[in-house]
Structure 1
Amino acid sequence: MTAQDKAKWFKFLILILGGGTIYKLANLKDAFYVPMQTFMGLSHTEIGLLLSANAIIATGLFVVGGLLADRFDTRKLIPVGLLGTGALGLYLATFPPFSSLMIVFCLLAVCADCIYWPALLKAIRGLGNDKEQGRLFGLLEGGRGVVDTLVAFSALGVFIVMGAAEAGLKAAIVFYSLIDIAAGVVTWFLLKGNHSAPIIGPKKNPLSNLMEAIKVPAIWVVSCNVFMVYIVYCGLTYFIPYLKEVYGLPVALVGAYGIINQYMLKILGGPAGGFIADKQFKSPSRYLKWAFLALLPLMVIILMVPKSPGYIYAGMAATLSFAFIVFSMRGVFWAPMGEVGIAPHITGSAFGIGCLIGYAPGMFAYVGYGAILDHFPGQQGYNYVFMAMMGLAVIGFVVASLMHRLVRSNAQVAGVQAQTAT
């Protein structure tokens, strides 16, 4: 391995450190959904409103984040996002009233989704060529899963040691906050001097780059595909209360299942999706198309597994299998940005637009799913949510098929141009 390769992978590992910690507070429901209801007095709908408020602000600021990523050094943006998130978490641990919780979740979006995430995506894309994008983004998701899992299980341990009650939840939130602050400090010092490679292409101001990116149809197609993956991904949250309410999953295992469902599967799903997309399918867009289709029979199995405590492990296996496929898709859903030939100098703006469209389901999916469950208690509500996820997967297959067709057309044009040049 050359010195350049070592420097590249060292920077990649440092980026993963922050990527696996910054969303813990905004996604507190992953490991502590039931404790949030019990000790913070939040209903399904209220938790959905917090998540939606976070997503609305995030969606509105993703493009701004893209402009920032094109304008400022990512080494500065990434630590600032982490430190701001940690500071907000310390206030969250005081269990402020619901109105204040709404403000906190909105500000978490500013730190994580505006300042941090587009800068991270740009930094990752800059680490490799277009043929490596599936692996890089897949490894990013997998690496985040490793950090996610270690940090989340540690927080769950803090919660249990502190009595698995209100004090435990507060201690877990403080733990998350301190980890974010530590990651911000480490990232600032260890990335010092690791600047992005010079941009090749016309030098324009960020606003000009944004206007250029808006006119590229491929960016919008990739963004719509991310939208479809993400809206299905949002539904994974409800596997947690589903197993508790329908199969009687013990409370002690609810948090552990949530961590496995939301974090550990990144370790396997992200890299698996990246390597399968690059090595087997030879195209992330082609893999995404067939992965959407693979979700349908798995959801049918989830709906058909008998609903009794004796089948709890079958229910867990079915839901985790479905989640694994979704995480493999999340691992590569940004990779088509390289396939469709996005110019390097508009990378930040392209990811800003992609995040704006792709993560938009966070604005309404959680509220929608939560409202269904509150309005139709028990098995009926979960059946409606899961059938909706199946329908969305079908739409996702159509969108991914269109994206793959665009990728093939782009490859044909590139081939003709290469022959003409020779």
Structure 2
Amino acid sequence: MSNFLKQYGFTPASLFQLALITVNAQLIYAFWDIRNSVPGGFPAALGVTDQQAGYLYSMQGLVIILGTIAVGWVGDRFSIRNIMLLSTIGVGGISLFLTLASPGLSMPVLLACFFSMLFFSEVLFKPANFKALRISTTEKHQGTVFGLFEFGRGLLAFLISLLWTVMLYFKAGPKEMMMTSCIIVIITGIAVFFIVPKDQKVGDEETQVHTTKEAIIGVGRVTKLPVIWIAGINVFCIYGAFVAAGTYFARFLQSGYGTSAVAAAVFAIVVIALRMLPLVSSVLVEKIFDSTSHFMRTMQIILVFLLVAISIIFFANHPDISLYANGYTPDQAPANLISSGMFLTLIILMLLAAACIFMIRGVYYAPIGEFGVDKKHSSAAMSFAITIGYIPALLAPIVLGGLVKSPDKDTAGQIIKSYLTDTHILGYAFLGLAVLVLISVFMSHSLIKLKEKQAGYSDK
């Protein structure tokens, strides 16, 4: 263990903090992540359409845009224990209310609940979370720490999604899953209270600002750094694809070719399992590539070709949805809308695309640490990059959710009839994602050139 700590720049305390941050950073999303495993049933249980669900999901982007920069100083000022505890209890309480009161809540109430729930997880917790990661090791090993973090989150997400799939198999409904998730979140909050030391800070005296004024000044300073803008735009382009992979790939299979809820859940759990791949990213960044930016550029180029290939399949395999204009019941899903060989190819390509996305996502904030941003203002730097990068969290769910024809449901939120979506529409969606990722290729290339320029100045 001592060799591992020395090799990757950790101390026992920073490694323990990394483990705590990782567990809390994933389990706080137990309720929110149900949308990925039950892409059709979760909106139905809330009593909304797919498009309305897109507006609910977009609250993630809205709270980040409105709040993350404004309170980016939280992570530079306050105890990580207090931030984790407040965030987790806040998310757990709101999730519990949504579970008990849905369906039947008005859209304004639902929007307010999702906004508040995501405020606790995104605005309060995430900047402090990323700062803790950034300062837990040296500049040289930023790719490693972010990769380990995303691997741990992916492992926990896989285990939780496996629980949802087992519950679906045994005919449990989305409401039962929602209640289970609330229990998980609340227990996590209780664990934070008892496990995390009261005086545990995000960093030490050298990485901590001591006044609110100093923290706010730090926000102004980081906005002048080119690396923050380029990294933020890079995240922007990839996060749009991440939203699609995590939430809508399975939904597109359902709406395009009539895939059953259980089959979609199985596909979703494989996608979620791929979130453990940032561990591979860490190894590749350390052993193969010159930097995180070199790694991202290569993976982004591969991802462009995969997304284009997926769009071609959707264009070329276009079933006549007019034959199912009246919809179909869950136990009578249409068959043979696409050949089994082509459907398998589509699934493989979508899983490969998801793998690339998650490997990039695992390290796309690492360049901020690699460029030597002042540790005291790491939370502010992460906050600004998050605000730019997570704009697709506001836009993508609205756009992608609006493409899908929503099912009919009963008063209890159970689906009684589903409808197909024109696969040409889905094909254009993947082409749009390919264009976004192509832009990210140029952003990663710009980071490489900027680092070379910085190294040139340091040599002089």
Q: Give the TM-score normalised by the residue count of structure 1.
A: 0.91
Deviation of the 1:90 alpha carbon: 0.4
Which residue pairs with 1:419 in the alignment? Answer: none
- 2:275, 2:358 within 8 Å by CA — same for their partners in 1? yes
- Relative to total residues, which structure has the larger helix share, 1 or 2? 1
SS at match of 1:66: coil
Segment drifting more, 296-305 vs 94-103: 296-305
Alignment of 1:37-116 (within 5 A): 37-94=43-100, 95=102, 96-116=105-125
Map Cα deviations across residues 45-97 of structure 1 (whole Å, 9 max, x no partner): 11111111232122211113421111112221122111111111101112133
Which residue pairs with 2:412 in the alignment? Answer: none
Deviation of the 1:160 alpha carbon: 4.4
AA matched with 1:277: V
Alignment of 1:285-324 (within 5 A): 285-305=293-313, 307=317, 308-311=338-341, 312-324=343-355
Match of 1:227 among 224, 228, 236: 236
Segment drifting more, 115-124 vs 205-214: 205-214
Deviation of the 1:148 alpha carbon: 0.8
AA matched with 1:62: T
Distance 1:254 1:202, change over 3 A: closer
1:399 aligns with 2:399: no
Deviation of the 1:337 alpha carbon: 0.5
- 1:225, 1:403 within 8 Å by CA — same for their partners in 2? no
Which residue pairs with 2:227 in the alignment? Answer: 218
Distance in 2 between residues matched to 1:224 and 1:106, nearest whole Å: 24
Distance in 2 between residues matched to 1:410 and 1:294, nearest whole Å: 28
Map Cα deviations across residues 194-218 of structure 1 (whole Å, 9 max, x no partner): 4322225986621111112222222
Deviation of the 1:9 alpha carbon: 2.2
Distance in 2 between residues matched to 1:86 and 1:260, nearest whole Å: 26
Deviation of the 1:304 alpha carbon: 4.0
- 1:49, 1:366 within 8 Å by CA — same for their partners in 2? yes
1:185 aligns with 2:216: no
Which residue pairs with 1:252 in the alignment? Answer: 262
Deviation of the 1:40 alpha carbon: 3.4
Distance in 2 between residues matched to 1:405 and 1:185, nearest whole Å: 46
Unaligned regions of 5+ residues in structure 2, if any? 318-337, 407-419
- 2:312, 2:427 within 8 Å by CA — same for their partners in 1? no
Which residue pairs with 2:248 in the alignment? Answer: 238
Segment drifting more, 284-293 vs 342-351: 284-293
Distance in 2 between residues matched to 1:331 and 1:35, nearest whole Å: 28
Distance in 2 between residues matched to 1:391 and 1:324, nearest whole Å: 18
Distance in 2 between residues matched to 1:100 and 1:172, nearest whole Å: 21
1:129 aligns with 2:135: no
Match of 2:281 among 267, 273, 283: 273
Map Cα deviations across residues 209-266 of structure 1 (whole Å, 9 max, x no partner): 11122222221121111111112212223211222233443321212222322x2111
Map Cα deviations across residues 78-133 of structure 1 (whole Å, 9 max, x no partner): 22111111111101112133322111110112110011111111111121001111
Distance 1:413 1:377, change over 3 A: same
Which residue pairs with 1:351 in the alignment? Answer: 382
Distance 1:79 1:373, change over 3 A: same
Distance 1:116 1:31, change over 3 A: same
1:197 aligns with 2:204: yes
Match of 2:371 among 332, 340, 351: 340
- 1:15, 1:187 within 8 Å by CA — same for their partners in 2? no
- 2:255, 2:405 within 8 Å by CA — same for their partners in 1? no
Query: What's the RMSD between the two structures over aligned residues?
Result: 2.2
Distance in 2 between residues matched to 1:132 and 1:53, nearest whole Å: 33
AA matched with 2:265: G
